[in-house]
Chains A and B, each alone.
Chain A
Amino acid sequence: MQENKFAAAFKQNAIWLVFIVEVAIFAYFNPKFLSLANIVNISRQVSYYGIASIGMTFVILIAGIDLSIGSIIALVNVVCAYLMMNMGWNMWLAILVSILMAILIGVLNGWMVASIGIPAIIATFASQTIFRGCAYLLSGGLPIPGVVLEHPTFGFFARWSLNRWEIFKSMGEVGLIPICAIIMILCFAVGSFILNKSYFGRYFYAIGGNEEASELSGIRVNKMKYLIYALSGFFAGLAGIVLLSRSGSAQSTAAIGFEFEVITCVVLGGVSVAGGIGRMSGVIAGVLIIGSLKSGMIMMNVSEYTQMVVQGLVLAVAVGVDCFSKKRQAS
């Protein structure tokens, strides 16, 4: 019995072991990998796909998918920058409107999936194309530079991304942790709370596990799908704002292929593509693994093309392991 408990605990936390081994390997080949500056850098890099992965976790838990998040990020980037730079809007208002727009795109996805009945992969792929096009239309395909998301009492975003060493000077209040990483941690805390302690979390698992039984037991499945896709839109929008704060320039080409990185993080973290199974702690590990992998490969001078190959392989292996374990159970 004790052995079984140990085996179960090991199985549940094996993803963290993978992370530790990965870090050890990179640290062995390049001792600078574990330097404070690099750790801070990784935390900043992973922050925006960490935030987006929370919404994607909810979507995959109900056996759905959201391929539109990369385009949402690009559009949020462009719209926020456009409102601030071309129309002279207040920063907070521009952020609010951009995020509301992201939520609306999520609702549109939910409507296509739940009410029209379009398979999630097709509906969100259509959204991806539509809203990427909107981003190009609005920006004319050109970047909108000089965006500074800053506030006297909350002056965090772009200033720190201009010079990575500046964090040591200007972040006395929060130590060495970049604000974007703090936002990610807060989002993960909220996501974890939703999944583990709220009724909504139970609804997500129930719908992913057995949609018909969920319906019979009183869950308004369609309404929940709207909510979940809206949440995915919200987190993608927030990730877009974080990305804009880091880059200081809005690009309609931002976050191309980003959804696959996020899906890799989520699936690698143990969220089943069949729905109904997954934990937020696993997703955090998935995000850290992908972040470390990217950083480690850059430090080892691995070419960008090879990095793409490796990331694709990681996604294939993660989904393959999930499918294989399901197949083994069924045989």
Chain B
Amino acid sequence: MYEISGELTPYYEELDPVKRLEILSTLHDDAAPFLRELYDGRYSDHEGKGRQNVDWWLWRCLCLQGLYSRGGFFRRFRDRETAAILRELRMNDNDEQHRTFLYHEYRNTAGRYLSTCRSSGYASRFMGFRQASDDEKVMKACEDIWQMSGGIARVSGMGEKMSLWVEAFRDELYGYDDICREEYERLSREE
């Protein structure tokens, strides 16, 4: 499922947008125009502030994580926002081939997020005075990935529409560290 040609593998493994663009410009795959469209949607300067290589999809991950913890009075707002993000991230695209590329783009987004989870400041305590151990960072990364994928899908009741997103994030997380599968399953059982 979601298999892609070997030519595309380096493109999806690369996390840096500049290098990705270089790889993309050398691709001769039929899917190149669609990939370019996805690339532009993900990295273009949406706010028109002249900033290059801003990862818009990564920002949407952070938004989804923030929306996960909204409830009560702000529940309606959360659901409306979540639906808008789903459209922006093309989760409603039902074309089979497109979904394959979207799956890999989502995994790449999750991969980019996870690449930030090894930094020294991540999951630190007491205003950065105590750095987190590697295990603590992994656990926090699992929690974050859960909140921005399976968690928000569950609390907003949009599990079906977000299935591809959730699957991609979960698969990327499982490859991140050995304990991630167990932790992700625990979180999905508990919540």
What is A's interface to B at a CB cutoff of 8 Å?
4, 8-9, 12, 63-65, 119-121, 196-197, 201-202, 205-206, 209-214, 216-219, 273-274, 277, 279, 281, 323, 326, 329-330
Contact = CB atoms under 8 A, between A and B. Distances in A.
Given A196-B74, A216-B112, A329 B62 contact: no
A255 B77 CA distance: 38
A329 B139 contact: yes
Contacts of B128: 63, 119-120
Given A197-B77, A217-B55, A329-B143, A202 B127 contact: no
Contacts of A274: 123-126
Contacts of A210: 62, 113, 116-117, 122, 144
A212 B124 CA distance: 13
Instruction: Provide the main secondary structure of the chain A interface.
Output: helix
A12 B71 contact: yes
Interface residues of B, number: 40
Contacts of A120: 127-128
Contacts of B63: 202, 206
A212 B116 contact: yes
Interface of B: 47, 51, 54-56, 58-59, 61-63, 65-66, 69-74, 77, 112-113, 116-117, 119, 121-129, 135-136, 139-140, 143-144, 191
Given A202-B62, A213-B61, 17 more contacts: A8-B71, A119-B127, A121-B129, A196-B74, A196-B77, A197-B77, A202-B66, A209-B66, A213-B113, A213-B116, A217-B54, A217-B58, A217-B59, A217-B62, A274-B124, A274-B125, A330-B135
Contacts of B74: 196-197
A326 B113 contact: no
A4 B151 CA distance: 13
A201 B126 CA distance: 21
A277 B70 CA distance: 11
5 contacts: A63-B124, A196-B77, A206-B59, A217-B55, A273-B125
A214 B58 CA distance: 8
Nearest to A327: B136
